[in-house]
Structure 1
Amino acid sequence: MATTSLPPATDADLSRVTESLEMISPLWSVWVLMTLSAQPLRYAEVKPRLPWLHDGQLHPRLRKLTEAGLVERTQYAPRHVTYGLTERGADLIPVLTVIAAWGNTHLEKDLAVDKTTGVAGPEHIPPAQNAEDTIMLLTPRHATPILWALQARAGATSAKTVRAMAMPDHGLSAVYPPLRRLAADGLVEIRDTSDVRLSAHGRALAPVYGAVSAWAAGRPLAEAVAHPVWGQALAPSQAGPGTWITQESRLPAAASPAPAPAGPALSAQPPAARWKAGDLFSHEISARPLSPSPAGGHRR
C-alpha cells in the first residue's frame, strides 16, 4: 500500500481495503468463491461449474485462495479432497454481493432478446462477473487512494491536492495517468487541473467501499453505512445520470451481438443484492477460456 497523507485512522482503513481488493482481484477468484458459497465441493465438482478454466488455471486459484484463508482444503482420504469456504470466506460473500450490485447498476450491458418473451432488454450478467469487473476498476495502482481522497474532499479539488493526499511521495506529474484512467473508466470527472471530482458513478461506490472496509476490519456489514469517508455519499436513487459506464466484457461474445443501449436509466436496473447460489450459472457458459482485461481497467 502506497503512503498517503490522509489521517492515520483513514490511512489504516484504506490500507486494509486496498489489500482486501488485491487479494480477490486475480482473474477467476470471485467465480471460485461464489462457486463454493453453497457447500464444499470436490475438485471434480468445481471443474464442470467453471468449464473454461484448465487445470493449470483452477488449481493455482484454489491454492492461492486457500493460502489467503478464504478457502479450506479438507482431505478425507488420498483421493477424497473437498474445497469449501472458511468462516472468513463465507463472510466475504455478502460483500461480493454488494460489489456485484454496483456492477449490475453501473456497468454497460448489451441488448439481448429474452428467449421466453421475445422482448429485447439489457443482457443478464452473472453476479460473479459483475463483481469481478467492478474489482478490476478499483485495483490499478493508486486508483482507490485517489477515489478516497476525492470523496474526503466532498467536491471539486485540484490535481495538486489529490496528489498531495493520495500520492505524497510522488511528483505532480505522476497523478495525471491514474486520474485519466479513472476518468476513462467513468469514476472521475476532470474539468481542468483545478476541478477534479468524483463522478456520480464514483460517488455510488459508497456501499462497495463501506462493505469491504467492514469486512477487512472484521466488523458487521451493517456498519458499512456509517463509514467515516463514504457514509455520507449520495443514495443510489440520487447517484447519477441515465447512462452506464462503458466496460469491455470478458464474457464470451454472442454469435450475433446487438448494439449497446443508448442510455437506459440506472434506476430501471434491478438490484443484484439478493444474489443466490443458483444465479451464478443462470446464463449459457462458453467452454472456451475468456481473455483477461488490459491494464488500467476494462471496457464492457
Structure 2
Amino acid sequence: MATTGLPPADDADVARVTEALQMITPRWNVRILLALNQPAQRYTQIAAKLPYLQSGQLHPKIRSLCDAGLAERTEHSARHVTYGLTTRGRQLLPVLPMLASWAEQNLQKPEQPLSAIEQVEDSLTLLTRRQAPAILWALKSRQEVTARALARIVLPNGYWTNVYPPLRQLVDDGLVTTEGNGQPYRLSPAGAALGPVLGALSMWSAGRPLDHAARHPLWGRTTSGPATPTRAWTSHQHRPPASTAPAIPAQPARRLGWQPSELFSHATPTRAKAALPVGGARR
C-alpha cells in the first residue's frame, strides 16, 4: 500500500529506508552494533564494552536488534549463549563512517570535538524526524516545490497544512531551505550532500551492495554547477535575485577530525554540553 504520492518505486524506497533508520537510530543501538562486530561473544563480554548502560538496558536492546535481523543469538547449551552480528548487520556497518563523515563536513561544529559515534548519532537524529525521508526524496526528485504541492506528495491522505511542522523542522535542521513564506522549498547544500548516505541506505535496505549507491536512480544523480530546477510543479515562476558578489576562492579541503578506523574503536568520550557556534546544519 502506497504511503506517499511518489511513484511506486520511490514510495517503496522511502518505506525501506525509513524502516532501516528506525532499526539503528534508537539510543545506544549504534554502539551495541559496533560492540557486536566481533566473533561471537557472551553477554557479559558485550556488557563490559558498554559500561554506561545500566543493568537491564542492554538485553532488550540486543533482543530488538535480533528481531530486526541485525544480530543473532546462538544457544550452544543451557549455560552457553553467545551473540554476534548477522551478515545483514555487518553489511550495514560501512554506512556508519559515511554518516560520520557527512556530519563532520555539514553539521555545526561544537566547541569540543565529538567522537565519530556521536557524529553518527546526531546524523541519525536528523534523518528520523517525522516525514523526513519522504520530504528529502520529494525535494530531490522535484528539486523545487511549494509546500502545498509537497504535501500532496508526502501526505496524500492528510490535510495539506500538516506538512508545515516537519518541513519547518528540516529547515531549522539545515537540510531544507526556502527564501521565505510562500516561496518554494529545496534541498540545502547539506541536504543534497546526503545523497551518498541515503543511496547507500537504500541499496542496503534493498539487499544490494553498498557500492551500487552511485547508481541509485535518484540519489546517484549529481548536479554540477548551480541547480536549474524545472518549475512546472510550483505555483509561480520564482526568480531569485541576480548575485553581484565576487567569486570566493576555493578553500583547501579540510581533514576530517577522525579516521574511519576510529569509528570501531569503542572509545566513547563524555560529550560536552557546550553551545554550538553558528555554521552548518543544526544538530
Q: RMSD over aligned Cα, in angstroms?
A: 2.7
Offset of residue 218 of structure 1: 0.6
Write the distance in 1 (CA, Å) between the matches of 2:94 and 2:85: 13
Match 2:178 to one of 190, 195, 198: 190
Letter in 2 for 1:139: T
Q: Decide which moves more: 180-189 or 38-47.
A: 38-47
Whether 2:99 is the aligned partner of 1:99: answer yes
Aligned partner (choices 122, 140, 151) of residue 151 of structure 1: 140
**Alpha carbons of structure 1 residues 46 and 108: separation in structure 2 relative to 1, 3 Å:** farther
Q: How much has 1:224 moved relative to structure 2? A: 0.3
Paired residues for 1:1-300 under 5 Å: 3-112=3-112, 123=113, 125-154=114-143, 156-191=144-179, 192-233=181-222, 267-270=253-256, 274-276=260-262, 278-281=264-267, 283-284=268-269, 300=283
Separation (CA, whole Å) in 2 of partners of 1:183 and 1:266:
28
Counterpart Cα distance in 2 of 1:188 and 1:2: 24
Partners of 2:199 and 2:177 lie apart in 1 by 22
1:226-251 CA-to-partner distances (Å, cap 9, x unmatched) read 1111112458xx9xxxxxxxxxxxxx
Query: Contact (CA 8 Å) 1:17, 1:212: kept in 2 or not?
Result: yes
Unpaired runs of 5+ residues, structure 2, are: 227-250, 274-280
TM-score normalised by the chain length of structure 1: 0.76
Deviation at 1:144, TM superposition (A): 0.9
Change (3 A) 1:158 1:26: same
Q: CA deviation at 1:269?
A: 4.2
SS at match of 2:57: helix
Deviation at 1:40, TM superposition (A): 2.5
Q: CA 1:126/1:266 → structure 2, altered by over 3 Å: closer, same or farther?
A: farther
Rounded to whole Å, the distance in 2 between the matches of 1:206 and 1:272 is 21
Q: 1:188–1:276: structure 2 CA closer, same or farther, 3 Å change rule?
A: same
8 Å Cα contact 1:127-1:279 kept in structure 2: no
* SS of equivalent residue, structure 1 residue 232: coil
Name the aligned partner's letter for residue 161 of structure 1. Answer: A
Cα distance 1:168–1:267, how it changes in 2: closer, same or farther (>3 A)?
Answer: farther
The Cα of 1:267 is off from its aligned counterpart by: 4.0
How far is 1:107 from its partner?
Answer: 2.4
- The Cα of 1:278 is off from its aligned counterpart by 4.5
Q: What code does the residue aligned with 1:20 have?
A: A
Q: CA deviation at 1:66?
A: 0.7
1:228 is paired with a residue of what secondary structure? coil
Contact 1:5/1:165, CA 8 A, preserved across alignment: yes
* Distance in structure 1 (CA, Å) of the matches to 2:148 and 2:201: 28
Q: Distance in 1 between matches of 2:213 and 2:57?
A: 34
Residue type of the alignment partner of 1:137: L
Kept after mapping to 2: 8 A contact 1:151/1:229: yes
What CA distance in whole angstroms lies between the structure 2 residues aligned with 1:195 and 1:272?
37
CA drift at 1:10: 1.1
Which residue identity does 1:199 align to in structure 2?
S
TM-score (norm 2): 0.80
CA contact (8 A) 1:21 1:139 kept: yes
What are the Cα deviations for residues 107-131 of structure 1, in whole angstroms up to 9, with x where unaligned? 233234xxxxxxxxxx1x2332222
CA contact (8 A) 2:97 2:260 kept: yes
Moved over 4 A (4+): none
